[in-house]
Structure 1
Amino acid sequence: MDSAALDRVGASTQGDINSGRILGASILIARGGQIVYRRSLGTVAADRPATDDDKYLLMSMSKSFTAALILRAVDQGRFGLDTRVDDLVPGFGTAGKGRATLRHLMTHTAGLPFGMVPPGVTPAQIGDLPRKAAAIAAIPAAFAPGARCVYTSGLGYDLLGHILVNTDPKGRNFRKIMHDDLFVPLGMTDSSFGLPLDDPRRVPVSFTEQNTGPTTPAMLGMFNQAFDADAEVPSGNAYSTIDDVFRFTEALRSRGTANGYRLMSPALFDYARQNHTGELPNEAFNFEVQARNLDPLIANFTLLGGYVRGTGHSLTSAGYTASPETITAVGGASTGWMIDPQHDLTVIYLSAGFIEGLRHFERLQRINDLALAAVS
């Protein structure tokens, strides 16, 4: 690794802090499973410098945790990728969603619309998984399952978390399943779904003055109050440190096994990491694409709760110079991880201070390309 090139990753992030785009960030870069660069920059709250052991809200990076245990259940034969969602969540098949399968949910092609909170559920109730699952099941199809791709934000993956509960042979709730079957076996001792509001290492969700908008108060209320110790939001309320996220990415870098624990089979991992949405665009970002006169965002969804780089020159959180097999996960507005198997490079980025929409994808693309530029 080129040390001067690695320093440009931190310099670029410091530039974002200096310009008021974000408040602070933690960055970890590893090559071949060995950490070669780490920095914690800026602040995560007033008079609180960023540190390596901060617990960040991972936002939609949480989906990769939920996806991992769904795939583990597939390996165990509890259900298959083509199992109808209605067989796992009774009542889901109404209103045009009858053809939707587990794989459709995982790839945002099940017919559900974009949304964080379904009709009939208040932001304060977002952590009530059974209530939310019932409301999601009742939503009419926005399109025929499999025909289009619309990132569902807090709907599809919350239903996947509910499926883990519905099919759990031990009768556990979602938070307990994640604790027992993912966090403890991988040594992720600082990770959880939900976190006490007064945890001293909790990083509060924040917006910089530059990025504050009309929805900011409602967003802050939901993330900093409703996401408490008991909240279960499989799509987005995992809390973790950068080192714990690295422990998880090591399991994926090793094709499903780490810390002596087999999370999923290599065969299923190799299938899951592929592009499962073909050339479909991710229509959830159509408004921003049109407003900014951008090219359509090609979805490139895997079954791992995130994306694959693929080929061609189109916006990708992996970085333009990443190998086609590179996989990523993105947490809306603030977080992301990337694993490039050809370069054996892992990059993890956790930040305080939201940058919403595709500008966060563009930031991750910049950070990952700078990291890839350091590979000799």
Structure 2
Amino acid sequence: MVGEAVSSELRGADPDAAGLDEQALGRLSGKVSEDVKSGRYRAASFLVARGGMVGYRDHIGEVSPGRPARQDDIYLLMSLSKAFTAALVLRAVDEGRLGLDTRVADLVPGFGVRGKERVTVRHLLTHSGGTYSGFPPPPPLSMADAGDLGKNVQAVSGLPLAFTPGTQVVYNPWASYALLGQSLVNIDPRHRGFRQIAQDELFGPLGMDDTAFGLAVDEPRRVPVSVADTDGAVVQRAVFESLNTVMDDKAEHPAGGAFSTVDDVFRFAEALRRRGAGAGHRVMSQAMFDYAARNHTGDLRNGFWDFDCEARGIEPFPAKFTLLGGYVRGSGHHLTPFGHTASPRTFGAVGGGSTMWLVDPERDLTFVYCSAGFLEGLDHFVRLREVADLALAACVD
């Protein structure tokens, strides 16, 4: 039974039993330790599994002064949260409550104006709808409104289309997934809020007991958002650290407001490694998973990173968005958070500056990584690529 497998996964195993090389895993921990000592970030917790069996885990550094990283730390997952929202949307598609080509204007009253009439659910899942793509909340909102789903949807709905849907890909931290979250609320036959839908249909059934959209500010296991003390960083520290109070237990931010532990993220990743099922619960059909895990943006680059590529001398790279709230590795030599050596079908999700999970189907490897200390822009992608390649190097056939 699937549920029995899940319980044994989290008991873990020695690296040999999981098909992992212990010396290679030591190099992974060594790299993370070096980066923590150099100030690239403050702390990290991660695990490596093969075939659903956890063969290695480590917790390095201090998530805040005097507080060592622990297995049960609860992190703000930032954009990794999109994977949860996407799973809920695809589940609704499986159930016939909406379609990938359903127009958002038919789901969210007031959205279909100023050129946005034909934006679809598929466009939102792949950041190709031409909706607002700014990093802060949409005007006239401020960070204080980040957790107010209704306000965000209202603000986005009033803005004009930025480009013809489907012709470009520009990642946006707010608009697309706020609209998807509101769509789920609007079609819900039980009239639940977004947080409750996620709890009832995803987190609860998968045994993700330490996961929720929003978290009490005074929760003792909550990892505070911080900014790494790196040379040349221009990120506004106050903006990001304000998330420590803005994202409270009432916040509903489908694009970046989920909180979770390393183990709970693993439970979710395992459900997708199994093509949509975990803990005896089917999140989505196998047919839907197989379709969603592909590259749905072709060779289009992610225009959101144009400024960062230029500033850091990085060649522009294809977006490779799936419908799963994240990316697929694909082929070719280009920047990818999943590692140069990952197989082309490797899929997963990334949270800006802090988090990642990936599944490499060819190696049957799952890697979950959560860190404290926001690292700006594509520097985070580079960091993830480095640790992912070290995790992949530990695979023993």
TM-score range, shorter chain: over 0.9
Asked whether 1:217 is paired with 2:238, we answer: yes
Counterpart in 2 of 1:41? 60
Separation in 1, partners of 2:228, 2:87? 33
Q: Kindly provide the CA deviation profile for residues 74-104 of structure 1, in whole angstroms up to 9, marking residues without a partner as x.
A: 0000010000110011222211111211000
AA paired with 2:239? A
Equivalent of 1:237 in 254, 257, 265: 257
Q: TM-score, normalised by structure 1?
A: 0.98
Counterpart mapping for 1:168-207 below 5 A: 168-207=188-227
Separation in 2, partners of 1:110, 1:168? 23
Deviation at 1:219, TM superposition (A): 2.0
Deviation at 1:154, TM superposition (A): 1.7
Structure 2 SS opposite 1:103: helix
Counterpart in 1 of 2:46? 27
Q: Kindly provide the CA deviation profile for residues 202-234 of structure 1, in whole angstroms up to 9, marking residues without a partner as x.
A: 00001133266451112211x111101101000
AA paired with 2:293? R
Structure 1 SS opposite 2:230: helix
Structure 1 SS opposite 2:383: helix
Separation in 1, partners of 2:239, 2:297? 33
Counterpart in 2 of 1:14? 33
Q: TM-score, normalised by structure 2?
A: 0.93
Equivalent of 1:104 in 123, 128, 149: 123
Asked whether 1:143 is paired with 2:178, we answer: no
Counterpart in 2 of 1:81? 100
Asked whether 1:117 is paired with 2:163, we answer: no
Counterpart in 2 of 1:58? 77
Gap change, CA 1:291 and 1:327, over 3 Å in 2 = same
Counterpart in 1 of 2:154? 134
The alignment-based identity, stated in percent, is 54
Counterpart in 1 of 2:391? 371
Kept in 2, the 8 Å contact 1:84–1:101? The answer is yes
Structure 2 SS opposite 1:79: coil
Q: Which runs of 4+ in 1 moved over 6 A?
A: none
Of 31-40 and 109-118, the range deviating more from structure 2: 109-118
Separation in 2, partners of 1:117, 1:316? 26
AA paired with 2:23? A
Q: Kindly provide the CA deviation profile for residues 216-263 of structure 1, in whole angstroms up to 9, marking residues without a partner as x.
A: 112211x11110110100000100010000100110000001101010
Deviation at 1:322, TM superposition (A): 0.6
Deviation at 1:314, TM superposition (A): 0.6
Kept in 2, the 8 Å contact 1:113–1:150? The answer is no
Separation in 2, partners of 1:35, 1:214? 35
AA paired with 1:320? H
Unaligned runs of 5+ in 2: 1-19
Separation in 2, partners of 1:46, 1:18? 14
Separation in 2, partners of 1:260, 1:111? 38
Counterpart in 2 of 1:358? 378
Asked whether 1:248 is paired with 2:268, we answer: yes
Of 334-343 and 109-118, the range deviating more from structure 2: 109-118
Q: Kindly provide the CA deviation profile for residues 315-373 of structure 1, in whole angstroms up to 9, marking residues without a partner as x.
A: 11111111111002000011101100000000011000011211111111111111111
Gap change, CA 1:141 and 1:160, over 3 Å in 2 = same
Kept in 2, the 8 Å contact 1:317–1:328? The answer is no
Structure 2 SS opposite 1:248: helix
Kept in 2, the 8 Å contact 1:206–1:353? The answer is yes
Q: Kindly provide the CA deviation profile for residues 128-157 of structure 1, in whole angstroms up to 9, marking residues without a partner as x.
A: 111111111111111011110000112211
Kept in 2, the 8 Å contact 1:113–1:151? The answer is no
Structure 2 SS opposite 1:209: coil
Equivalent of 2:317 in 297, 320, 323: 297
Separation in 2, partners of 1:312, 1:6? 26
Gap change, CA 1:19 and 1:269, over 3 Å in 2 = same
Kept in 1, the 8 Å contact 2:320–2:327? The answer is yes
Gap change, CA 1:166 and 1:294, over 3 Å in 2 = same
Unaligned runs of 5+ in 1: none
Counterpart in 2 of 1:282? 302
AA paired with 1:141? L
Deviation at 1:63, TM superposition (A): 0.2
Kept in 2, the 8 Å contact 1:54–1:202? The answer is yes
Counterpart in 2 of 1:323? 343
Separation in 1, partners of 2:234, 2:170? 24
Gap change, CA 1:339 and 1:112, over 3 Å in 2 = same
Equivalent of 2:353 in 310, 333, 358: 333
Separation in 1, partners of 2:273, 2:331? 20
Separation in 2, partners of 1:234, 1:342? 31
